[in-house]
Chain A
Amino acid sequence: MNSNVTNARAEQAEIDASAKWPVLVFLGSALLWLLLGGALQLAAAIQLHTPSFLADCAWFTHGRLAPAAQNALVYGWGMNAAFAFGLWLMARLSATTLRHGGWLFVAAKFWNLGVTLGVGGILAGYSTSFELLEMPRFVTLILLVAYAIIGVWVVTTFSIRNTENVYASQWYLFGAAFWFPWLYTIAQVMLFRAPVRGVLQPVVNAWYVHGLYGLWFAPVALAAIYYFLPKLLGKPISNYYLAPLGFWWLVASTAIAGGSRLIGAPVPVWIPTLGIVGSMMLVLPLVILSLNFLGTLSGRYGSVGGSLTLRFIVLSIAGFLLSSVLGLALSLRSFAAVAQFTLLTGLRDWLLFYGCFSTAMFGAAYFFLPRLTGKEWRSTALVQAHFGATVLGLVLMTIGLAAAGWQQGHLLNDPAVKFAEITRALAGWHTFNSVVLGVLLVGHVAFLINFVWIACPFNSQGTPVAQINPPPALSLAAKEGHA
């Protein structure tokens, strides 16, 4: 038994060592983009209540700043972080080392080159008019080639696995590896290479945006949640036999739910109708995922506080549930009559991207970085600052965007209110949201400092070596709660 544990430990150390540099490069670039994107987002938010801010410089007008911030966060932070986490977890669960990591460096270089050119292109005024596809056309090929390498690595690592069994996290990672290129190429071809005409363009765009959040970022976050709950609680996922059903139902419904973004838009009415049905179908995976996650957590909430990763994972679960419930509400025509085309639709996407996905990545990073580098986090204060800022930011931003969006929706529906008056009425909320973005940015800076301490090889004096104990085996008995 003891030798088995040691063997497993040695194997894991080997896997972590093979994954170290590719993951650090991806996560390091991700964090730089997180700060840059956050700064751009803050500047764009300030312009909403102080229009004169940076208004004299063409590169920083709101129409360029807002999409540049969103693209930097989604493609810079989100994708890089997903690559880092996905590659590491896939290698871990496939019990195989990450081979030929040099290619992943090349991929990371090209991906970040593409995002740099893309965000720069948007700021320089070469953006397109499609949400999350604003990057200039020439960037597409760079991103796709870079992604191809990364995607092939994830899939190959899975196919040379040394394990008999496949775990839920692997389904989601494996699926996401195929769904992103599928969504991205179809959107690129149908919008730029051989553009469809007229109202079909927003339809394709809505399908892409919904898919990117629902079939790329959500699955990566779910993979993290499925992995870390048993990993840190020492307790199997409850009602796990339902997980495959939840997986397939989630995928099939999300793929057709994109039309619900177009309620009230002048497109053929069957498209939003199909989207509404797709969104409503998501009730089932929502119930199953709640049973899985909350069931596993039940009775163990006391131990969540002691684990940093679990704290972030619980935030991520909350973000996922909130975003899903808001998505259900937004697909009701009567609710959408007020909430459509307001800040509330932005809140839904933000809750999924930040509340669910980003917090899961933070939690994962706090777990795997000490294992990859063999060092401890140097400053507990900075860790706590990061977690505190994230919780505070999430709660305040949810309140702020929800209240502002609801007020905005009612004002927009009142024909007697002039548009300028709505802008003035929301200025207070926009100020509030800028402050919250600032709070989040402080947390990200705290995380980056800790990251530099733990990851930078030249600055390792004073960072203690991590003592990682060999993990015990998970037992079925733990589920019933008796030792």
Chain B
Amino acid sequence: MSPKLDNNFKVEQSAASDDSIQQVHARLQSQKPEKKDGYSLTPLVLLGVMCSAVFFGSIYMAHNAVRFDPLVVNEHAKREKPGAAGAVALTRAQLGKKIFLSTCATCHQANGLGVPGQYPPLAGSEWAQGPEERVIRIVLQGLNGPITVNGTDFNNVMAPLGAVLKDEQIANVLSYVRAELGNKAPEVQPETVAKVRAEVADHAGYWTAPDLLKIGQ
């Protein structure tokens, strides 16, 4: 059957006609090669190759695609999810910024410089950086009357905020004022605020500058 293929390179003779090639292969496509004994190993091995290709391909993707993050260009990048690193602890000064901007910045301004002749500055202020008992009292029960800040005289009223802000909020906002705005004073703890709140429970009305100067000498 096997034709002699000595064509001498002049012209190639074919050993099968086109239509018979198509007919034979159409039959072969639907039928597997016959095995007289046992089963055929090839399809099983190929099934194994297919399954392991999909399996290991998926594992490899999961390990090296780094969450399909468009910004990661190296497969050795950290593989933890963004939330898995745990919460970052914020300082009291950082926590107090929001309260400062919503409560204090209306009068004292966001930069803490106040308004000349109207509201005294907090930035660089000897009061803000002074004894914490005094500033806690001002925030809790307000301030009324003349006061000298950074060598300038002011005469205005600050509303009491003790009913509005909790101890921790007061501690945070004071820590912010004392650590930011160019100030350098230690932060205030909520326990201190609670202690002062208990001390001033029997004090009625606004504080005045002379009264405050007697405290925390």
Interface residues of A (CB under 8 A from B): 5, 8, 12, 92-93, 95, 163-168, 227, 230-245, 249, 266-270, 273-274, 276-277, 280-281, 283-284, 287-288, 291, 300, 303, 306-310, 333, 366-367, 370, 376-377, 380, 383-384, 464, 466-478, 482-483
- Which one of A230, A266, A473 lies within 8 Å of B25 (CB-CB)? A230
Q: How large is the interface on B (under 10, 10 to 19, 20 to 34, 35 or more residues)?
A: 35 or more
Are A270 and B22 interface neighbours, CB within 8 A? no
Are B29 and A243 interface neighbours, CB within 8 A? yes
Q: How many angstroms from the CA of A291 to the CA of B41 in the assembled complex?
A: 13
Q: Is residue B6 contacting chain A, with contact meaning CB distance below 8 A?
A: yes
Q: Which 10 A-B pairs have the closest CB atoms?
A: A234-B15, A165-B26, A474-B16, A306-B5, A473-B20, A270-B65, A483-B1, A474-B20, A277-B57, A240-B28
Q: How many angstroms from the CA of A302 to the CA of B20 in the assembled complex?
A: 24
Q: How many angstroms from the CA of A92 to the CA of B50 in the assembled complex?
A: 34
- Which one of B6, B10, B64, B72 lies within 8 Å of A306 (CB-CB)? B6
- Given A12-B18, A239-B33, A468-B13, check contact A291 B42 (CB 8 Å): yes
- Given A163-B22, A383-B9, check contact A287 B46 (CB 8 Å): yes
- Which one of B17, B30, B33 lies within 8 Å of A472 (CB-CB)? B17
Are B28 and A241 interface neighbours, CB within 8 A? yes
Contacts of A277 in B (CB 8 A): 57, 60-61
Taking the nearest CB of chain A, how far is it from the CB of B91, in angstroms?
36
Are B72 and A276 interface neighbours, CB within 8 A? no
Contacts of B50 in A (CB 8 A): 249, 284
Contacts of A308 in B (CB 8 A): 7, 9, 12
> Which residue on A lies nearest to B43, using beta carbons?
A242
Q: How many angstroms from the CA of A474 to the CA of B26 in the assembled complex?
A: 12
Are A384 and B9 interface neighbours, CB within 8 A? yes
Are B29 and A244 interface neighbours, CB within 8 A? yes
> Which residue on A lies nearest to B16, using beta carbons?
A474
Q: How many angstroms from the CA of A325 to the CA of B186 in the assembled complex?
A: 68
User: Which of A166, A236, A238, A288 is most buried by chain B, counting CB atoms within 10 A of its CB?
Assistant: A236
Q: How many angstroms from the CA of A233 to the CA of B1 in the assembled complex?
A: 10
- Given A230-B21, A476-B24, check contact A370 B9 (CB 8 Å): no
User: Which of A277, A291, A472 is most buried by chain B, counting CB atoms within 10 A of its CB?
Assistant: A277
Stretch at the interface among B73-81, B113-121, B123-131, B144-152: B73-81
Contacts of A377 in B (CB 8 A): 9-11
Q: How many angstroms from the CA of A390 to the CA of B74 in the assembled complex?
A: 42
Taking the nearest CB of chain B, how far is it from the CB of A215, in angstroms?
19
Q: Is residue B27 contacting chain A, with contact meaning CB distance below 8 A?
A: yes
Q: Is residue B8 contacting chain A, with contact meaning CB distance below 8 A?
A: yes
29 contacts between A and B (CB under 8 A): A164-B22, A165-B22, A166-B26, A231-B18, A232-B14, A234-B3, A236-B24, A238-B33, A239-B33, A241-B31, A242-B43, A245-B46, A277-B57, A300-B2, A303-B2, A306-B6, A307-B7, A307-B12, A370-B10, A380-B10, A466-B11, A468-B11, A471-B14, A471-B15, A472-B3, A474-B20, A474-B23, A475-B24, A483-B1
> Which residue on B lies nearest to A170, using beta carbons?
B22
A-B contact count (CB 8 A): 199
Are A165 and B11 interface neighbours, CB within 8 A? no
Known: A266-B73, A308-B9. 4 other contacts (CB 8 A): A231-B15, A306-B5, A468-B13, A476-B27
Interface residues of B (CB under 8 A from A): 1-33, 42-43, 46, 49-50, 53-54, 56-57, 60-61, 64-66, 68-75, 77
- Which one of A238, A288, A306 lies within 8 Å of B46 (CB-CB)? A288
Taking the nearest CB of chain A, how far is it from the CB of B12, in angstroms?
5
Taking the nearest CB of chain A, how far is it from the CB of B39, in angstroms?
15
Contacts of B53 in A (CB 8 A): 280-281, 283-284
User: Which of A291, A471, A472 is most buried by chain B, counting CB atoms within 10 A of its CB?
Assistant: A471
Are B19 and A95 interface neighbours, CB within 8 A? yes
Q: How many angstroms from the CA of A281 to the CA of B56 in the assembled complex?
A: 10
- Which one of A165, A238, A245, A370 lies within 8 Å of B12 (CB-CB)? A370
Q: How many angstroms from the CA of A230 to the CA of B20 in the assembled complex?
A: 10
Are B12 and A366 interface neighbours, CB within 8 A? yes
Are A163 and B19 interface neighbours, CB within 8 A? yes
Contacts of B73 in A (CB 8 A): 266-269
Taking the nearest CB of chain A, how far is it from the CB of B110, in angstroms?
37
Taking the nearest CB of chain B, how far is it from the CB of A9, in angstroms?
8
Taking the nearest CB of chain B, how far is it from the CB of A1, in angstroms?
12
> Which residue on B lies nearest to A93, using beta carbons?
B18
Are A474 and B10 interface neighbours, CB within 8 A? no
Are B64 and A273 interface neighbours, CB within 8 A? yes
- Which one of A166, A230, A274 lies within 8 Å of B65 (CB-CB)? A274
Contacts of B66 in A (CB 8 A): 269-270
Q: How many angstroms from the CA of A164 to the CA of B29 in the assembled complex?
A: 14
Contacts of A306 in B (CB 8 A): 4-7
Contacts of B49 in A (CB 8 A): 283-284, 287
Q: How many angstroms from the CA of A421 to the CA of B8 in the assembled complex?
A: 51
Contacts of B4 in A (CB 8 A): 306
- Given A284-B53, A466-B11, check contact A168 B25 (CB 8 Å): yes
Are B7 and A167 interface neighbours, CB within 8 A? no
> Which residue on A lies nearest to B63, using beta carbons?
A273
Contacts of A482 in B (CB 8 A): 1
Q: How many angstroms from the CA of A8 to the CA of B21 in the assembled complex?
A: 13
Q: How many angstroms from the CA of A5 to the CA of B21 in the assembled complex?
A: 14
- Which one of B17, B19, B20, B46 lies within 8 Å of A242 (CB-CB)? B46
